[in-house]
């Protein structure tokens, strides 16, 4: 993991004070890892959220905290937008997390008032890779049809709506989603979208 940060953003943790934090990461395993590290650094209270909606709800009830760590690709919106919003509402320590090592994204985060940017070490998918020999056009293990289904899921469409848009039955869409779930390791629709965004399968 690479961290690009203003030292003042991490001042509460580095000083060993009992700081408060919020972690906004869709994947429960990754989120638990971040929470454990924050507690090891001295966090006295850490709230967890998996989406922009949940994070906003926590922010309304708990008020500004010392630190917020949010993934940029959230299932229901932009983590960058969320962090900028929290900054405007008095949150001082805002760190963005992304698996996309794009300097333009780093610049956008810092320009939005984010105090640091964490680049995770997850393996990146090469979007320019050649189509496999079987001709199915696999991208990150998903066929082109499956990628299209995920795009519709990301738009919030039901199986019936996806089927209407793609000329498929709702049952066929359900079968596609079952295969996608096996390949991505989650049957949760929000989780599928989050993993696909994080790995560049959809944008």
Q: State the residue range of the domain holding 154.
A: 144-198
Q: Which of 119, 134, 158 is the last residue of a domain?
A: 119
Task: Based on the fold, state whether residues 154 and 106 are members of the same structural domain.
Answer: no
Task: Give every CB contact of residue 50 below 8 A, 6+ residues apart in sequence.
Answer: 24, 25, 26, 28, 31, 74, 75, 190
Is 117:96 a contact under the CB 8 Å cutoff? yes
Task: Based on the fold, state whether residues 24 and 105 are members of the same structural domain.
Answer: yes
Tens digits of per-residue pLDDT, 139-151? 557 888 998 998 8
CATH of the domain at 176: 1.10.10.10
Tens digits of per-residue pLDDT, 106-119? 666 666 666 565 65
pTM more than 0.85: no
């Amino acid at each position: 993991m690479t961290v690009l940060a203003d030292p003042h953003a991490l001042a509460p943790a580095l000083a060993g004070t009992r700081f408060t934090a919020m972690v906004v990461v869709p994947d429960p395993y990754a989120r638990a890892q971040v929470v454990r590290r924050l507690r090891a650094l001295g966090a006295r209270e850490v709230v967890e959220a998996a989406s922009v909606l949940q994070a906003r709800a926590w922010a309304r009830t708990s008020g500004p905290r010392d630190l917020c760590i949010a993934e940029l690709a959230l299932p229901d919106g932009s983590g960058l937008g969320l962090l900028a919003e929290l900054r405007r509402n008095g949150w001082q320590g805002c760190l963005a997390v992304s698996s996309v090592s794009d300097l333009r994204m780093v610049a956008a985060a810092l320009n939005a008032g984010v105090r640091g940017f964490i680049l995770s070490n997850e393996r990146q998918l090469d979007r320019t890779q050649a189509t496999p020999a079987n001709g199915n056009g696999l991208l990150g293990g998903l066929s082109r049809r499956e990628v299209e289904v995920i795009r519709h899921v990301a738009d919030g469409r039901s199986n019936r709506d996806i089927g209407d848009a793609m000329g498929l039955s709702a049952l066929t869409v359900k079968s596609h989603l079952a295969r996608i779930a096996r390949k991505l390791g989650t049957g949760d629709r929000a989780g599928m979208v989050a993993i696909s965004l994080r790995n560049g399968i959809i944008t």
